Amino acid sequence: MTVSQLRDRMTEKVVPEKIMPQNIAEFLMDEDAELPELDAFTFLNRLRALGIGSADFLYLLSGCGAPEEAVEKVRRNPAMNLQSLILTLDGAGLGPQDYTRMLYTARQLWERTVTMRLEKAENSPENSGDSVPENYEDIALEEIEDIAPEKIEDIAPEDIEDNAPEEFGDSAPEEIENIAPENYEDNAPEEIENIAPENYEDNALEEIEDSAPEEIENIAPEEIEDNALEEIEDNAPENYEDSVPENYEDNAPEEIEDNAPEEIEDNAPEEIEDNAPEEIEDNAPEKIEDSAPEESENTAPEETSEFRPVDMELLRQSLIADAEEISGGEAAPESAEAPGTDEDEQTEPQYHKGALITSVAGAAAVFAAAVSVSLMGFAPTEAPDAHFAADSSEIFGAIYSSYNSGIVGADIQPWRGGGTLFGDIIVETDGSLGTFFDDGTLYTAAADGITFAEAGGDSLSAAEVIEPPTDTEFMYVRMSGGALYAVFGGAECGFVRVDNGKVVYTARQDGVLTDFRFDEKTVRIGSVFTLPFAESFSSDRTECFLPSLGTGEKSLIPPENILLSGADGCSYAVSACYSMEDGEVLSSAAALGYPVYSSADGTAFMEDGGEGLLVRVGMTENGLEYTTARMGKPVCAAGGDGVYAAAENTDEGQSVTIYDGGLAPAAVLKNFDRGVTALRFDGKALYISGSDGEFMAADCSDAASPAIFTERKSGVVIGNDALLTEKTADGFEMKLCSLENGKAAVKYSFTKKLTADEAATLETGACGTVFVGSGVYGGAYSWFDGVSVVSEYAVFGGQNREITLFDDKTGFTAAFERDGKLCLVYGGGRISSEIHI
Amino acid sequence: MDKREYKEISALAANGDTKAFAHLYETIYREMYYTAYYTLADDADAVDVVMRTVKDGFSSVGKLRTEEAFRTFMMKSLCSRIKARLKEYPDGELSSYNGGSVIKREFERLSDSERLVAAMYVAGRFIPSEIAAYAGMSAGAVKKRLKSVLEQFELD
Q: Which tens digit of pLDDT belongs to each residue from A631-668?
A: 888 999 999 999 999 998 877 778 899 999 888 899 99
In chain A, what is the straight-line distance between the N-terminal and C-terminal CA atoms, in Å? 52
Among B15, B34, B37, the residue with its CB nearest the CB of A49 is B15
DSSP-assigned beta bridge partners for residue A817? A822
What is the spatial distance between Cα A531 and Cα A412, in angstroms, rounded to a whole number? 13
Identity of the highest mean pLDDT range in A335-349, A494-508, A640-654:
A494-508
- Give the nearest chain A residue to B49 (CA atoms): A19
Among A612, A632, A652, the domain boundary falls at: A632
Domain membership flag for residue A688: no
Domain membership flag for residue A530: yes
Phi/psi region, residue A206 (left: phi>0; alpha: psi -120 to 50; beta: rest), is alpha
Q: What is the 3-state secondary structure (H, E, C) of A24-61?
A: HHHHHHCCCCCCCCCCHHHHHHHHHHHCCCHHHHHHHH
Task: Kindly tell me if the per-residue pLDDT of A505 is higher than 90.
Answer: yes
Domains and CATH numbers, chain B: 3-153 (1.20.140.160)
Q: Kindly state whether residues A289 and A401 are assigned to the same domain.
A: no
The one-letter amino acid at A24 = I
Q: How close does chain A come to B26, measured CA to CA in Å?
A: 6
| Count of domains observed in chain A | 3
Do β-strands A365-368 and A743-753 pair in parallel, antiparallel, or remain unpaired? unpaired
Q: Kindly state whether residues A301 and A392 are assigned to the same domain.
A: no
What is the pLDDT, as a whole number, of residue A396? 85
Q: Kindly state whether residues A167 and A282 are assigned to the same domain.
A: yes
Q: How close does chain B come to A392, measured CA to CA in Å?
A: 22
- Give the nearest chain A residue to B26 (CA atoms): A21
A529 vs A457, higher pLDDT: A529
Domain membership flag for residue A363: no
Task: Kindly tell me if the per-residue pLDDT of A684 is higher than 60.
Answer: yes
Domain membership flag for residue A60: yes
Among A590, A608, A632, the domain boundary falls at: A632
Q: Kindly state whether residues A270 and A403 are assigned to the same domain.
A: no
What is the pLDDT, as a whole number, of residue A367? 59
What is the pLDDT, as a whole number, of residue A117? 59
Q: Which one, of A516, A514, A511, A512, lies nearest residue A496 by Cα?
A: A516
A387 vs A364, higher pLDDT: A387
- Residue-wise pLDDT for B2-22, tens only, equals 778 888 888 888 888 888 899
A743 vs A506, higher pLDDT: A506
What is the spatial distance between Cα A140 and Cα A132, in angstroms, rounded to a whole number? 13
What is the spatial distance between Cα A151 and Cα A153, in angstroms, rounded to a whole number? 5
What is the spatial distance between Cα A472 and Cα A210, in angstroms, rounded to a whole number? 65
Lowest mean pLDDT among A144-153, A196-205, A480-489: A196-205
Q: How close does chain B come to A25, measured CA to CA in Å?
A: 5
Task: Kindly tell me if the per-residue pLDDT of A187 is higher than 80.
Answer: no
- E strand residue ranges, A500-610: 502-510, 512-518, 522-530, 548-551, 555-556, 562-564, 571-579, 585-593, 595-598, 603-608
Q: Kindly state whether residues A596 and A741 are assigned to the same domain.
A: no
Q: Alpha helices, DSSP H only, in A65-164?
A: 68-76, 82-91, 96-122, 136-154, 157-162
User: B-chain residues within 8 Å CB-CB of A489?
Assistant: 138
Q: Does B84 touch chain A (CB under 8 A)?
A: no
Q: How close does chain A come to B119, measured CA to CA in Å?
A: 9
CB contact under 8 A, A19 and B140: no
What is the spatial distance between Cα A683 and Cα A256, in angstroms, rounded to a whole number? 71
Among A632, A661, A677, the domain boundary falls at: A632
Phi/psi region, residue B154 (left: phi>0; alpha: psi -120 to 50; beta: rest), is left
CB contact under 8 A, A36 and B50: no
User: A-chain residues within 8 Å CB-CB of B137?
Assistant: 471, 490
CB contact under 8 A, B156 and A1: yes
Q: Kindly state whether residues A299 and A393 are assigned to the same domain.
A: no
From residue B122, give the alpha-carbon distance in Å to each of B34, B49, B153. 9, 20, 11
CB contact under 8 A, A25 and B103: no
Q: Kindly state whether residues A626 and A766 are assigned to the same domain.
A: no
Q: Which ipTM value was assigned to this complex?
A: 0.93
User: A-chain residues within 8 Å CB-CB of B63?
Assistant: 45, 533
What is the pLDDT, as a whole number, of residue B156? 59
User: Confidence band (pLDDT; 50, 70, 90) for B56?
Assistant: confident
What is the pLDDT, as a whole number, of residue A411? 85
Domain membership flag for residue A681: no
* C-beta separation of A645 from A340 below 8 A: no
Domain membership flag for residue A760: yes
* C-beta separation of A464 from A501 below 8 A: yes
What is the spatial distance between Cα A591 and Cα A564, in angstroms, rounded to a whole number? 6
Domain membership flag for residue A677: no
Q: How does A460-485 read in b/e, with b if 16+ C-beta sit within 10 Å?
A: beeeeebebbebbbbbbbbeeeeebb
Calculate ∠ Cα A776-A777-A778, nearest 5°: 130
What is the pLDDT, as a whole number, of residue B155? 67
Q: Kindly state whether residues A724 and A611 are assigned to the same domain.
A: no
Task: Kindly tell me if the per-residue pLDDT of A8 is higher than 90.
Answer: no
User: Confidence band (pLDDT; 50, 70, 90) for B78?
Assistant: very high
Question: Model pTM greater than 0.80?
Answer: no
Domain membership flag for residue A638: no
Q: Kindly state whether residues A436 and A546 are assigned to the same domain.
A: yes
User: Domain range for residue A606?
Assistant: 387-415+432-632
User: Confidence band (pLDDT; 50, 70, 90) for A17?
Assistant: confident
Hey, of A28, A107, A110, A411, which one would you mutate to test binding to chain B, going by the most B CBs within 10 A of its CB? Answer: A28
Q: Kindly state whether residues A160 and A299 are assigned to the same domain.
A: yes
Identity of the highest mean pLDDT range in A278-287, A456-465, A792-801, B30-39:
B30-39
Q: Which one, of A469, A489, A477, lies nearest residue A414 by Cα?
A: A489
A734 vs A100, higher pLDDT: A734
Q: What is the 3-state secondary structure (H, E, C) of A12-31?
A: CCCCCHHHCHHHHHHHHHCC
Q: Kindly state whether residues A33 and A136 are assigned to the same domain.
A: yes
What is the spatial distance between Cα A440 and Cα A566, in angstroms, rounded to a whole number? 54
From residue A328, give the alpha-carbon distance in Å to each of A9, A322, A334, A346, A351. 69, 10, 16, 14, 15
What is the pLDDT, as a whole number, of residue A161? 39
Q: Kindly state whether residues A275 and A395 are assigned to the same domain.
A: no
What is the pLDDT, as a whole number, of residue B10? 86
User: Confidence band (pLDDT; 50, 70, 90) for A289?
Assistant: very low
